[in-house]
Homo-oligomer: A and B are copies of this chain.
Amino acid sequence: MYTVCVRDHLMIAHSFRGRVFGPAQRLHGATYVVDLELRRPQLDADGLVVDIGLAGTALGKVLGELNYRNLDEEEGFEGENTTTEFLARVVFDRIAQRIAAGELGEAARGIASLRVTLHESHVAWGSYEGALPPSARP
């Protein structure tokens, strides 16, 4: 299995609901350094997992939808704790949609699975990984 990873980052504010979160129930924020891994069993005709330029652009666009925002006020996150692992899944789903839409190139349809990791500090990170839904691999 081949993997390629591109890295970018995201700076947001949010708060959590639930006693388990302690002081993180207050409005605070985080930098997430985000790794997007794309995996496939065979390389494409150019010798690539994916066009790394297109992958980086897609990651930048997905993060741009969240960047410099207070997630407590973002549509679609009502009633959710926007934890590191939850956000990893959000980025995963949005990248998967862009792959299915052809934004990472036709060859990217050969991508079998993704992993999205959000590093929240030098001592903690969270990730979500999974196979791409059939819609992404016609």
Residues in chain A within 8 A of chain B (CB atoms): 1-9, 11-14, 16, 18, 20-24, 26-33, 43, 46-49, 51-53, 56, 67-70, 80-86, 88-89, 105, 117, 120-130
Return chain B residues, CB-CB under 8 Å to A14. 13, 29
Q: A2-B89, A127-B2, A127-B3 are in contact. Are A122 and B27 (CB under 8 A)?
A: no
Task: Sort A-B residue pairs by CB-CB distance and give the 8 closest, nearest first.
Answer: A29-B29, A47-B81, A13-B13, A13-B29, A23-B68, A7-B123, A31-B31, A28-B68
Copies of this chain, tallied across the complex:
6
Return chain B residues, CB-CB under 8 Å to A83. 43, 46-48
CA distance A51 to B6 in the complex (A): 26
Nearest Cβ on chain B to A68's Cβ, whole angstroms = 4
* A49 x B122 contact (CB < 8 A): no
* B4 x A70 contact (CB < 8 A): no
* B127 x A70 contact (CB < 8 A): no
A13, A23, A56, A105, most chain B CB atoms within 10 A: A13
Q: A4-B126, A11-B121, A123-B9 are in contact. Are A23 and B85 (CB under 8 A)?
A: no
Q: A20-B51, A47-B83, A70-B27 are in contact. Are A124 and B12 (CB under 8 A)?
A: no
